[in-house]
Structure 1
Amino acid sequence: MYAGRSRVRVMTLKQKISNFKKGNQSMDKYLQGIKAISDELSIIDHPLDETDLVIHTLNGLTNEYREISAALRSRESPIVFAELHEKLMDFETIHHRAAQEAADIVSTANVVTRNKADHYRNNNRDSSPTQRTGERKIVCQFCDKPGHVAKNCY
């Protein structure tokens, strides 16, 4: 009776580790989850070997990790879980830093664009077409009529 339950538990844990995905959780939490399942298998005398642990870990990663996953799979010498853990944590840190820098650039660009638009609106709100460009008269490049530019040509 006990052997049957043990076999079911082994199958349940192996299926759990096979289906375990990183999803939206942090890399640290994901790796802790993988390791916890692996440890449970070891406790019931069915440990995963390093290669299987690494394969399950790589298989559960999201698409943003596909490049590092491919690089790690193609190594001459197989990677051990401890080294994989370190590399994935480093990759996540670098990835988040790059994403934050990209977000900062977009945010800065939006502010600059908004400031330019506000400046243009404020300078042109109550002025005539000739005052908008200093004392030059605006003439449409398309129809040669004064008071507007080609972009706003009617």
Structure 2
Amino acid sequence: MLRPQIMALKEKLFLSYQGTKIVFEFLQTIKSTANQLALIGAPLEEDDIILHCLNGFNFNFKEISTSIHAREQPIPFRSLHNKLVEFKDYLK
């Protein structure tokens, strides 16, 4: 019973795309899905959650996404959110 749920949630993450969502809304969608996985016993590493976020952003965020991918140290989810909001403000 859990395997189909796990697979459905992982597919949701894999197919997540920002589209017209604002940064906060998109990140919350990813985090909520990751939390659901953790609740049913299939937690993801924070790096995996970050990758799902970065891979789902639209073209405007590719520049910052590339720099975050290249970091030596992993970026915590909360810091990712802050960096993306700052970058969004920079783009305006």
What pairs with 1:8-19 in structure 2 (closer than 5 Å)?
8-19=4-15
1:104 aligns to what? none
1:89, 1:58 → 2: CA distance?
13
1:71 aligns to what? 67
Q: Residue 66 of structure 1 aligns to which amino acid in structure 2?
A: K
1:39 aligns to what? 35
Cα shift at 1:94: 2.0
Where does structure 1 lack aligned partners over 5 or more consecutive residues?
A: 98-154
Q: How many residues align?
A: 92
More helix by share: 2
Structure with higher Rg: it is 1
Match of 1:87 among 47, 72, 83: 83
The list of structure 1 runs, each at least 4 consecutive aligned residues, that deviate by more than 6 angstroms after superposition, is none
| TM-score between both structures, scaled by the size of structure 1 | 0.58
1:93, 1:6 → 2: CA distance?
41
Cα shift at 1:93: 2.0
| TM-score between both structures, scaled by the size of structure 2 | 0.95
Q: Mean Cα displacement is larger for which, 83-92 or 63-72?
A: 83-92
Q: CA RMSD in A?
A: 0.8
1:47, 1:86 → 2: CA distance?
23
Match of 1:7 among 3, 12, 27: 3
Q: Which has the higher contact order (CA 8 A, sep 6+)?
A: 2
1:85, 1:43 → 2: CA distance?
22
Match of 2:58 among 62, 67, 72: 62
1:65, 1:37 → 2: CA distance?
21
2:45 aligns to what? 49
Cα shift at 1:91: 1.1
